[in-house]
A and B are shown apart, each in its own frame.
Chain A
Amino acid sequence: MAVFEPVLLRNRDVEDSTSLSVYESRGGYGAARKALKMTPVEIIEEVKKANLRGRGGAGFPAGVKWGFLPKDRTRTLLCVNADESEPPTFCNRVLMETDPHQLIEGTIIAAYATQSQIAYIYIRVEFHEQFHILQRAVDEAYAKGYLGKRIFGSDYSLECYLHRGAGAYVCGEETGLIESLEGKRGWPRIKPPFPAVEGLFRRPTVVNNVETLCCVPHIIERGADWFTGIGPPHSTGPKLFCISGPVKRPGCYEAPMTITVRDLIEREDMGGGMLPGKKVKAVLPGGVSMGILTADELDMKMDFEDPRKYALLGLGTAAAVVIDDATDMRMVLRNMARFYGTESCGQCTQCREGTAWMHKIATRIAMGAGRIEDLDILLETARNMGMMPGLSICGLPDGATYPIETIVNKFRGELEAAIRAQAPERAKTVLSVLN
């Protein structure tokens, strides 16, 4: 197998890679210049042909999304979702802190393709350093005339604003992000109308993830055929993968979507294997929301389709967390439940109450006062939440149920054994403390 040449991270190890001059010296902004000579429809067709699927988690084709905009659009807005809030994920962070101009270039092309005059970059509030890097890059681009009025001397103008979030997980959901940008409480909106029809400030809006937009300049520069040549047909293009946990080289790596979870952990140019004395017990392969894999399921391909075969929700953010054999699954369960219990926005009943209840149950189990029937209640609660059965407005509860459901299903034996081994006296104490 030929060595994969990094695309998105090609500037990562270059000195001063965040400056415009370095970016341009390495061929930057060529794609944007080229794109502005094309028609918007040509760009959309090219991106559709490249089958660029959204990197934010759901994997929706970006070109198709742009195609949903009304034909006679004049007031479209582009939002860049840089609210990377999925727990073990840091692909967007790496992109923004090492190559901010790549994102700006992608934004220019996408905004031109969607005929947006304004682009908002909604950046996670915890990204302090990244915010300043990106702000500097935007200022540089403005100074050079790459943003603002009549970009590259063409007729096209684009204003680009950075907006910092306020620390809510749900604002990474596109309509939650839109509400938050409007200055409201980040409660996802009911659909229809979809953002492409009526979104930010009631104008047609496209929301794209940072990594998705970073792919766009390369598609324009090298063509859709080059892009589809990378990875399997349903999951084209380069993808960033994060790996964390007790591996030798935790970090963010770029690869085509042909690698398996095992590759990500074991390969020398990636995770580099487990730390000495540690063994894989489980892996959360796509951020926490997608569900869990056991040590026997590491041959799952990290693409958009394969995870479904392993009862997972999808590829998600492709950020794997490795859990070693010293970890108590009850703690993992509780950790997952706690995250969603505190991050549910509180709008839909099932999610608001269900996540909090699962958190309580998981806490009790983790502290040694669980009951076998609690596992069934967890499963039932998980089944009674989410957008897929139509029980919520956004996908957050789906993300909450998959880890719980897969942990309980795949590690039921261990959990039951742990519950049976509880000391009754301790359980009593725990109950009296909790209640």
Chain B
Amino acid sequence: MPKITIDNQEIECCNGVPVLQAALEAGRDIPHYCYHPGLSVVASCRLCLMEMMMPNPKTQELQWSPKLVPSCQTPVRDGMVVRFDSERVRQSQATCMEFFLLNHPLDCPVCDQAGECHLQDYSFKFGKPESRMVDQKLVNPKKDIGPNTLLYQDRCVMCTRCVRFTDEISGTHELCMVNRGSRTEIDVFPGRPLDNPLQGNVVDICPVGSLLDKDFLFKRRVWELKGTPSICPGCATGCAIRIDHANDKVYRLKPRFNPKVNQWWMCDEGRFGFKYVHNKKRIRSPLVRRGYETLTPSWEDIPEIVRFRLEEHVREKGAAKVAAVLSPFMACEEAWLLARFVREIAPQSVLAMGPVPMEGEDQFFPVGAKGDAVRFTILKEKCPNRRGVEMVLHAAGGDIVTFEQFTERSGKGDFSAAWIVGGYPKPWVDKNTAKMGANFELLVLQDLFVNELMAGAAIVLPSCAWVEREGSFVNAAGLIQSFERAIDPPDTARRDGQYLYEIAGLPGLYTGERVRERMAEALPAFAKAYAAPELPVHAH
């Protein structure tokens, strides 16, 4: 690994990365706009300039370069000596920031980006406190460039990250530059709006408030939001995301850098796929039916009730009459707790996994890319944890059946008691499944939304959305990734993990890590879940 010296401080860095990237990774806050490690280098914002030690062409004596050099365009070489902390560099940063703000409307009070705006941050840190321009500002227009995106050209710093994104990552080429000089604008072609499955990323990579998400527009000031690291449950890719929430409400999802999965990106389906979390039709409290009565017991009584009813059933009908259907939306820990509990009560019970939702075909980006050229994938398997649940089932052993076999056997009356877990964001109970409800004497339903199975259920437990839970998902590539809980469940609902933990009779509070420790005995892979590295401020 090459070693370079930045401002008298020696750092080790990866081969071939630009000096800027090495400095950012080392925690230095070097101002930059056009540079993004996921995109090609254009070196046009001229903000990340540095001084470089190089030999004088005449005397071969080492000296600081007469020119400033863009650090984003200069790859690291072993023994390189550079500096950012010099009068010349600071002066060039300050004038550059003054230039950026010349025509900027300074409408931070009404700008969505305020608080996470690189223009604000760098102006405070590197800029000048006032503008010397007394002339009229040039006002470039605001434009509606797509179904989900607005473009405020007056705030743009012309870093062209968004244009390069549509060229290099999505491969859809909707954005382009028009006009010249300070009147240069980002634009779309007439009749071809910015509308591709990855378009939301242009808002993320926009360092200023120029590209705006219509979904989040004017909803909340960003400094009121709390960010919680999580994993997108939209498909089996398992993109690392950040849940931005406040007062138990999710406002937006943002991708989080994960070198092993999604790099810097996420798709719109995942980005806007959290709306069901705040759906009013969610099951909000546990229900227990006794005869013609429907009771809402307190959570303290639930473990006892569930255990008693199942044990009673096993005594009467036998353990082989019990089945449990796990959901590919469950976290591995929850699946493991449930499987463990069911097998404890009824060792001969049958385990299955619920239907795996499939939609369309896998999508690869840039559009048309194959093999190594693929930069991003949206999978047709629209659930986060099929592999994780399969691992749990495999470890549990015994009688494991597919969902089709389960439906068929329950139709024949093979099972008299079943624990069915839903948790699907979209309606999942089809006619066959709905009919099946009548086959069981004891049905425990654990689901998000009211559905047809509920009528025949003896015990209904509210399921929680993934933003309210914690645990781990195993993605399509077999990577175990943990996610954290962002908000509390609605009303009296409780987290699945917590009540399953209590029902399983384990001591203390549920945490994903605590359960993974126990799981690791049978499933050693769960000893350590992968967490994407955290990045310093302004680094990518």
Binding site for B on A (CB under 8 A): 168, 185, 187, 190, 341-350, 352-357, 360-361, 364, 371, 377, 380, 384, 388-393, 434-435
Chain B residues with CB under 8 A of A390: 49, 65, 67-70
Chain A residues with CB under 8 A of B176: 185
Chain B residues with CB under 8 A of A364: 135
Known contacts A190-B41, A393-B43, A354 near B177 by CB under 8 Å? no
Q: Which chain A residue shows the least CB distance to B185?
A: A346
Contact between B182 and A388 (Cβ–Cβ < 8 Å)?
no
Contact between A356 and B181 (Cβ–Cβ < 8 Å)?
yes
Known contacts A346-B181, A349-B46, A389 near B68 by CB under 8 Å? yes
Q: With the chains together, A353 CA to B47 CA distance in Å?
A: 13
Q: With the chains together, A278 CA to B146 CA distance in Å?
A: 60
Q: Could you tell me the distance in whole angstroms from the C-beta of B33 to the nearest C-beta in chain A?
A: 8
Q: With the chains together, A389 CA to B49 CA distance in Å?
A: 10
Q: Could you tell me the distance in whole angstroms from the C-beta of A433 to the nearest C-beta in chain B?
A: 10
Which residues of B (130-155) have their CB < 8 Å from a CB of A? Answer: 132-136, 138
Lowest 5 CB-CB distances: which A-B pairs, in order?
A: A346-B184, A390-B67, A356-B182, A390-B68, A353-B99
Is B23's CB within 8 Å of the partner chain A? no
Contact between A346 and B69 (Cβ–Cβ < 8 Å)?
no
Is B442's CB within 8 Å of the partner chain A? no
Q: Which chain A residue shows the least CB distance to B42?
A: A190
Q: Could you tell me the distance in whole angstroms from the C-beta of A369 to the nearest C-beta in chain B?
A: 9
Q: Which chain A residue shows the least CB distance to B33?
A: A349
Contact between B135 and A360 (Cβ–Cβ < 8 Å)?
yes
Chain B residues with CB under 8 A of A187: 44
B95's contact among A343, A345, A384, by CB below 8 Å, is which? A384
Contact between B68 and A350 (Cβ–Cβ < 8 Å)?
no
Q: With the chains together, A391 CA to B70 CA distance in Å?
A: 8
Q: With the chains together, A341 CA to B103 CA distance in Å?
A: 14
Known contacts A350-B99, A434-B135, A168 near B67 by CB under 8 Å? no
Chain B residues with CB under 8 A of A389: 67-68, 92
A-B residue pairs in contact (CB < 8 Å), sample of 21:
A190-B43, A343-B180, A345-B180, A346-B182, A346-B184, A348-B44, A348-B45, A349-B47, A349-B96, A349-B157, A353-B99, A354-B99, A357-B133, A360-B135, A384-B95, A389-B67, A389-B92, A390-B65, A391-B92, A392-B46, A393-B43
Contact between B49 and A434 (Cβ–Cβ < 8 Å)?
no
Is B100's CB within 8 Å of the partner chain A? yes
Is B461's CB within 8 Å of the partner chain A? no
Q: With the chains together, A348 CA to B65 CA distance in Å?
A: 20
Q: Could you tell me the distance in whole angstroms from the C-beta of B327 to the nearest C-beta in chain A?
A: 50
Contact between A349 and B181 (Cβ–Cβ < 8 Å)?
no
Is B394's CB within 8 Å of the partner chain A? no
Contact between A388 and B67 (Cβ–Cβ < 8 Å)?
yes
Is B102's CB within 8 Å of the partner chain A? yes
Known contacts A384-B95, A434-B136, A435-B135, A348 near B46 by CB under 8 Å? yes
Q: Contact string, B180-220, partner A, CB cutoff 8 A, digits 1/0? A: 11111000000000000000000000000000000000000
Chain A residues with CB under 8 A of B138: 356
Is B158's CB within 8 Å of the partner chain A? yes
Contact between B179 and A346 (Cβ–Cβ < 8 Å)?
yes
Contact between A342 and B181 (Cβ–Cβ < 8 Å)?
yes
Contact between A341 and B44 (Cβ–Cβ < 8 Å)?
no
Q: Contact string, B94-115, partner A, CB cutoff 8 A, digits 1/0? A: 0110011011000000000000
Is B73's CB within 8 Å of the partner chain A? yes
Number of A-B pairs whose CB atoms are under 8 Å?
Answer: 102
Q: With the chains together, A354 CA to B180 CA distance in Å?
A: 14
Chain B residues with CB under 8 A of A348: 44-46
Interface of B is mostly: loop
Contact between A343 and B45 (Cβ–Cβ < 8 Å)?
no
Please give 6 more A-B residue pairs, beta carbons under 8 A apart, in addition to A389-B67, A391-B46, A391-B68: A190-B70, A360-B135, A380-B95, A384-B92, A384-B95, A435-B135
Known contacts A353-B102, A390-B49, A435-B136, A346 near B183 by CB under 8 Å? yes
Q: With the chains together, A168 CA to B180 CA distance in Å?
A: 9
Q: With the chains together, A343 CA to B73 CA distance in Å?
A: 25
Chain B residues with CB under 8 A of A168: 180
Q: Could you tell me the distance in whole angstroms from the C-beta of A104 to the nearest C-beta in chain B?
A: 32
Q: Which chain B residue shows the least CB distance to A353?
A: B99
Contact between B42 and A344 (Cβ–Cβ < 8 Å)?
no
Q: Could you tell me the distance in whole angstroms from the C-beta of B440 to the nearest C-beta in chain A?
A: 66
Contact between A391 and B49 (Cβ–Cβ < 8 Å)?
yes
Chain B residues with CB under 8 A of A344: 180-182
Contact between B92 and A349 (Cβ–Cβ < 8 Å)?
no
Q: Could you tell me the distance in whole angstroms from the C-beta of A362 to the nearest C-beta in chain B?
A: 10
Q: With the chains together, A146 CA to B70 CA distance in Å?
A: 46
Q: Could you tell me the distance in whole angstroms from the C-beta of A200 to the nearest C-beta in chain B?
A: 18
Contact between A349 and B45 (Cβ–Cβ < 8 Å)?
yes
Q: Which chain B residue shows the least CB distance to A185?
A: B177
Q: With the chains together, A356 CA to B102 CA distance in Å?
A: 10
Q: Could you tell me the distance in whole angstroms from the C-beta of A3 to the nearest C-beta in chain B?
A: 42
B44's contact among A185, A349, A361, by CB below 8 Å, is which? A349
Chain B residues with CB under 8 A of A357: 99, 102, 133, 135
Chain A residues with CB under 8 A of B70: 190, 390
Q: With the chains together, A190 CA to B41 CA distance in Å?
A: 9
Q: With the chains together, A187 CA to B183 CA distance in Å?
A: 14
Q: With the chains together, A380 CA to B135 CA distance in Å?
A: 17
Q: With the chains together, A349 CA to B92 CA distance in Å?
A: 11
Q: With the chains together, A390 CA to B184 CA distance in Å?
A: 22
Q: With the chains together, A274 CA to B169 CA distance in Å?
A: 61
Q: Which chain A residue shows the least CB distance to B65?
A: A390
Q: Could you tell me the distance in whole angstroms from the C-beta of B518 to the nearest C-beta in chain A?
A: 55
Q: With the chains together, A190 CA to B182 CA distance in Å?
A: 20
Q: With the chains together, A392 CA to B41 CA distance in Å?
A: 14
Contact between B41 and A352 (Cβ–Cβ < 8 Å)?
no
Contact between B158 and A352 (Cβ–Cβ < 8 Å)?
yes
Q: With the chains together, A432 CA to B84 CA distance in Å?
A: 42
Known contacts A185-B177, A356-B138, A357-B133, A349 near B99 by CB under 8 Å? yes
Q: With the chains together, A377 CA to B180 CA distance in Å?
A: 23
For A341, A377, A391, A434, the residue with the greatest tally of chain B CB atoms inside 10 Å of its CB is: A391
Contact between B180 and A346 (Cβ–Cβ < 8 Å)?
yes
Contact between A355 and B46 (Cβ–Cβ < 8 Å)?
no
Chain B residues with CB under 8 A of A384: 92, 95, 99
Which residues of B (336-371) have their CB < 8 Å from a CB of A? Answer: none
Q: Which chain B residue shows the least CB distance to A354?
A: B99
Chain A residues with CB under 8 A of B132: 377
Q: Could you tell me the distance in whole angstroms from the C-beta of A400 to the nearest C-beta in chain B?
A: 11
Q: With the chains together, A168 CA to B184 CA distance in Å?
A: 13
Q: Could you tell me the distance in whole angstroms from the C-beta of B16 to the nearest C-beta in chain A?
A: 15
Q: Could you tell me the distance in whole angstroms from the C-beta of A16 to the nearest C-beta in chain B?
A: 40
Contact between B73 and A352 (Cβ–Cβ < 8 Å)?
no
Chain A residues with CB under 8 A of B65: 390
